[in-house]
Amino acid sequence: MRTARSEPRPFIVVTGCFAEVSPEEAASVQGVDMVIGNRTRRLDFERAFGVSISRSVRSFSNHTRAFVKVQEGCANSCSYCIVSAARGRGRARSSEEIFSETERLARRGFKEVVLTGTDLGRYSDERGNDLAGLIEMLEGIDGLERIRLSSIHPDRIQKPLLDIYSRPTKLCPHMHLSIQSGDDGILHSMSRSYGREDCVRAVESLLGVRPDMAIGADMIVGFPGEDEQGFENTADFVKGSGLGYLHVFPFSARKGTGAALMQGRVDPETKKRRAAILRMLGDSKWAEYRKRFLGVELECLVESRRKDGMLVGLSSNYLHVRFDGDDRLTNTMVSLELTDLDGPLNYGRLRPSLNRSSRVR
């Protein structure tokens, strides 16, 4: 390892999921001095170095958005995933602790926070506050303009969350669903907690309360047992859905998971071909979605200047819009009219501030 060869020689600790599920393999890596797993990480660091680990990240250098982990671990035990073994069952931080952390971030100037968690949709703290209740708490923080969610399982799109989206809210009209397949047989083999119709219902319900919402999805191709019909079922699901974009992953077996032992392996070339087909579908969906907003004013959080010299603003519905502007606009909310699409890129121009109700927030 390059780090181990540097001078003065550092003390190298390996931690995280790899250290938890394969401690002997981690310890065998040249230069590694200590291996600390996930489950006892806080205590082990304190014993070894006399320091405690904070539950929150206090610095997001060069970022205009802050990420707040509200939950860790997972009880789902999906057949392809090692997370439940590596991170244990789901554990939620208290809503009071999350509120305090988010309030501090807002005071430091962060206008948007992204709530993250391994199984975010099942967030529930010891007092019984669920994800919808947590969002409603955070909406009361002065200076916080936006709340964005990371990935959620489709069966967690339920009435409390839909009720929030149905009213004026700080919650961004952007949802990323962990769907993985549009075939019931494959979803069953994956040990997912939902079926194809649950996915259809989730997308339709979200668009029913926020027609402007950008909805993305994770999809796995080439899972053991996925034949051509199974893949076609997934492709047909994507074509007929209101999804806006896809993140596509060829199946990769993880040591220690049930899927790694399954029969019916799909050959690499077939996985590559299926992934390419789904990615093309995803690109088409995303282009179609973005075209709807040409000529529309989008309220954007200005992130940074790109290599082409243009600033980039992020809209609440997940459009990165390039535009000409002054560096002093960074980390401010501006109104941009979407004027042009060039492949995956979006271009816009600054507009005078208008009443919020007249723009996509």
Q: What is the pLDDT of residues 183-195, one digit of tens each?
A: 999 999 999 999 9
Q: How high is the pLDDT of residue 205? A: 98
H or E element in which residue 284 lies: helix 268-291
Claim to verify: residue 42 and residue 91 sit in the same structural domain: no
Q: How high is the pLDDT of residue 353? A: 64
Claim to verify: residue 162 and residue 233 sit in the same structural domain: yes
| Amino acid found at 186 | I
| Amino acid found at 78 | C
Claim to verify: residue 163 and residue 308 sit in the same structural domain: no
Confirm whether 203 is domain-assigned: yes
Domain of 316, CATH number, reads 2.40.50.140
Q: Are 178 and 218 in contact (CB under 8 A)?
A: yes
Q: How many domains is the chain partitioned into structurally?
A: 3
Q: In Å, how far from its chain's centre is CA 73?
A: 15
Confirm whether 250 is domain-assigned: yes
Claim to verify: residue 130 and residue 188 sit in the same structural domain: yes
- End of a domain among 291, 325, 341? 291
> Residue 359: pLDDT above 60?
no
pLDDT category of residue 39 using cuts at 50, 70 and 90: low
Claim to verify: residue 72 and residue 155 sit in the same structural domain: yes
> Residue 257: pLDDT above 70?
yes
Claim to verify: residue 310 and residue 274 sit in the same structural domain: no
DSSP string of 218-275, one letter each residue = EEEES-TT--HHHHHHHHHHHHHS---EEEEEE----TTSGGGG-S-PPPHHHHHHHH
Confirm whether 57 is domain-assigned: no
Claim to verify: residue 80 and residue 14 sit in the same structural domain: no
Q: How high is the pLDDT of residue 160? A: 97
Domain of 154, CATH number, reads 3.80.30.20
Q: Are 237 and 170 in contact (CB under 8 A)?
A: no
Complete edge-to-edge strand list for the sheet that includes strand 174-180: 174-180, 214-221, 245-250
- End of a domain among 247, 274, 291? 291
Confirm whether 43 is domain-assigned: yes
Claim to verify: residue 204 and residue 171 sit in the same structural domain: yes
Mean pLDDT, rounded, for 257-269: 95
Confirm whether 176 is domain-assigned: yes
* Residue 140 CB neighbours (<10 A): 10
Mean pLDDT, rounded, for 118-127: 92
Claim to verify: residue 287 and residue 260 sit in the same structural domain: yes
Claim to verify: residue 223 and residue 352 sit in the same structural domain: no
Q: Are 194 and 154 in contact (CB under 8 A)?
A: yes
Q: Are 245 and 216 in contact (CB under 8 A)?
A: yes
Claim to verify: residue 11 and residue 28 sit in the same structural domain: yes
Confirm whether 56 is domain-assigned: no
- End of a domain among 274, 291, 308? 291
Claim to verify: residue 12 and residue 161 sit in the same structural domain: no
User: What pTM was computed for the model?
Assistant: 0.84
**Of residues 82 and 349, which shows the higher confidence score?**
349
H or E element in which residue 348 lies: strand 345-351
Confirm whether 177 is domain-assigned: yes
Mean pLDDT, rounded, for 105-123: 95
* Burial (Cβ within 10 Å: 0-12, 13-18, ≥19) of residue 66: buried
Confirm whether 117 is domain-assigned: yes
Q: What is the pLDDT of residues 137-178, one digit of tens each?
A: 999 999 999 999 999 999 999 999 999 999 999 999 999 999
Q: Which of 2-6, 21-25, 50-54, 209-213 has the lowest mean pLDDT?
A: 50-54
pLDDT category of residue 346 using cuts at 50, 70 and 90: very high
